[in-house]
Amino acid sequence: KPLSLTPQILSAWEGSCVFISCNIKEEYESRSINQWSFAWYFEPSFDSTLNDYSGTLLYNSNQTATEVSSEFSNRVKFWGDLGSKNCSLKISQLRLSDKGLYGIRLYWVHGELKTPMKWFEKLDINVHETPSEVIKTMSPEMEEQKEYTVACSIPYHCFDEPIKLSIQGLEDHHVLSQKLTTKIQ
């Protein structure tokens, strides 16, 4: 397939954002991919009368001013670069109602082809009420008088919207040091 989305499932929390990474390959079946367009949808479904996908339109590369559904107005931003075949999308200020299926439809018209070729890729976005529902913590079985390292991680996709993490509940304990590191995976 000439279209790739990574990852296939994203998890975030209400008020945060997600970044959907999307790329279009340079070639398909030894033919250069040019003269293409795409559309992003929320809750897409196949419409047999149109013989195509439809749903809540989030972005259309053919339109200079995409008519985005009012529920996504001012929250969806095309984050890609058409010149480098990057079709990435960012959704900010997530709501619980944003949980669901998202899809992108790619259209390609090749000079030798009479009808456009079409591809569809999808991913799921889970939106939780709080960040604590997506935090992963790793800590060993602990004994008194020993030193331990506790590690926690949280999936976060929008580095242009920084978040602050804090640890609570250690006020009555002797904490030698708190070290916060950020690692992009």
| Domains located in the chain, CATH noted | 3-128 (2.60.40.10)
Distances (CA, A) of 47 to 15, 98, 102, 123, 128: 32, 22, 16, 19, 30
pLDDT tens digits for 79-132? 999 889 999 999 999 999 999 999 999 998 776 767 788 999 999 999 999 887
Residue with tokens 């669901």: 100
Q: pLDDT at position 73, please? A: 86
Q: What is the DSSP letter of 86?
A: B
Which is nearest to 23 in space by CA: 10, 9, 36? 36
d(CA 5, CA 121) in angstroms, rounded, equals 7
Across 36-50, 67-81, 127-141, least confident range = 127-141
Q: Residues 137-172, buried b or exposed e (16+ Cβ, 10 A)? A: eeeeeeeeeeeeeeeeebbbbbeeeeeeeeeeeeee
Greatest Cα pair distance in the chain: 75
Please provide the distance, in angstroms rounded to a whole number, between the alpha carbons at the two ends of the chain. Answer: 25
Bridge partner list, 126:
11
Q: Is the separation of the CB atoms in 103 and 40 below 8 Å?
A: yes
Q: What is the DSSP letter of 14?
A: T
Bridge partner list, 21:
6
User: Which residues are CB-neighbours of 30 under 8 A, at least 6 positions away?
Assistant: none
d(CA 58, CA 41) in angstroms, rounded, equals 5
Task: State pTM to two decimals.
Answer: 0.80
pLDDT tens digits for 128-184? 998 877 777 766 777 888 877 767 777 777 777 777 766 666 666 656 566 656 665
Q: pLDDT at position 183, please? A: 60
Q: Is the separation of the CB atoms in 31 and 147 below 8 Å?
A: no
Which is nearest to 153 in space by CA: 165, 136, 168? 136
